[in-house]
Amino acid sequence: MKKISVLIVEDEAIIADFIYEILTELNYDVIGVADRYENAISLISKTKPDIALVDINLKGNLNGIDLGHFLNNNAIKFIYLTSKSDSITIDKAKLTFPETYIIKPFTKSDIKSNLEIVSHKINSKTTNSPAAEVGDFFFIKEKETYIKIFYKNITHIEACDNYSIIYTQNSKHVISQTLKVIEQKLEPHNFFRTHRSFLANLNLIEKISTKHVIISGKEIPVSEANRVQLINKLGTI
């Protein structure tokens, strides 16, 4: 099994040191410690971690939930470590799809057990998903027919309750899978969650406005937080 790499995102130095000691003792590869959103993004861009441990309260204008959206959109698994357990915070956190949510004060056992579960998911996926399965296309079934879809031709995907609509440059297809499930399957293919209900093909984005991205002349919603992450991901000159 691969050695799992972990990023610590915590603005209290004493707690960050405590987590670092636990991870080192448990033989995880700690890629760094960040105390704010921007520092975390910088570390992620240099060495993409397998897992991030994220405090919700961070230094600066952007908090751990903002980082959670970025991690989710970039298919990086993460766990919240926080003293906040109010319903408003938890409702916001749920929208970022964390692996779990650990309330402070926590113990070594809390860290160990939760990381073992997430690490098992990662190693199981590596073992059970050979590279040969990741190609340029996939098939979807419509009635009695199987239709080939090339990843490069997908412009965006829209959530519709427990279904999703896949849009290509000249067609659309409804499938009985949630957007979250599809997002996980598209991890290697350069898609980005612009909004809680939309995934967009990064390679086909033509413009980014205040509330939309443009692909093939079509406006696709982008949330404010995800817009910031999208610009950081794509870069500007």
pLDDT-derived band of residue 135, with 50, 70 and 90 as boundaries? low
Rounded average pLDDT over 71-84? 89
Whether residue 130 is predicted with pLDDT greater than 60 in this model: the reply is no
The whole-number pLDDT of residue 139 equals 83
Domains of the chain: 5-128 (3.40.50.2300), 133-234 (2.40.50.1020)
Whether residue 9 is predicted with pLDDT greater than 50 in this model: the reply is yes
The structure tokens 């971690």 sit at: 49
Least confident of 93-107, 131-145, 194-208: 131-145
What is the full DSSP assignment across 83-117?
S---HHHHHHHHTT--SEEEESS--HHHHHHHHHH
* Burial (CB count <10 Å: 0-12, 13-18, 19+), residue 77: buried
Whether residue 132 is predicted with pLDDT greater than 80 in this model: the reply is no
Rounded average pLDDT over 58-68? 93
Q: Choose among 75, 96, 94, 78: nearest CA to 86.
A: 94
The whole-number pLDDT of residue 235 equals 72
147 vs 64, more confident: 64
Whether residue 131 is predicted with pLDDT greater than 90 in this model: the reply is no
List C-alpha distances in Å: 226 to 85, 131, 133, 173: 24, 29, 30, 25
Beta carbons of 176 and 163 less than 8 angstroms apart: yes
Q: Tens digits of per-residue pLDDT, 207-228?
A: 999 999 999 889 999 999 899 8
Strand-pairing partners, residue 24, are none
The whole-number pLDDT of residue 236 equals 66
Residue type, 36: R
Length of the chain: 237
The whole-number pLDDT of residue 162 equals 81
Least confident of 7-11, 16-20, 223-227: 223-227
Rounded average pLDDT over 84-105? 90
The whole-number pLDDT of residue 129 equals 39
DSSP, collapsed to helix, strand or coil, labels residue 155 as: strand
12 vs 146, more confident: 12
List C-alpha distances in Å: 92 to 68, 85, 123, 201: 10, 11, 29, 25
* Burial (CB count <10 Å: 0-12, 13-18, 19+), residue 46: exposed
The structure tokens 């357990």 sit at: 85
pTM: 0.57
Least confident of 46-55, 73-82, 118-127, 217-226: 118-127
The whole-number pLDDT of residue 122 equals 82
The whole-number pLDDT of residue 143 equals 76
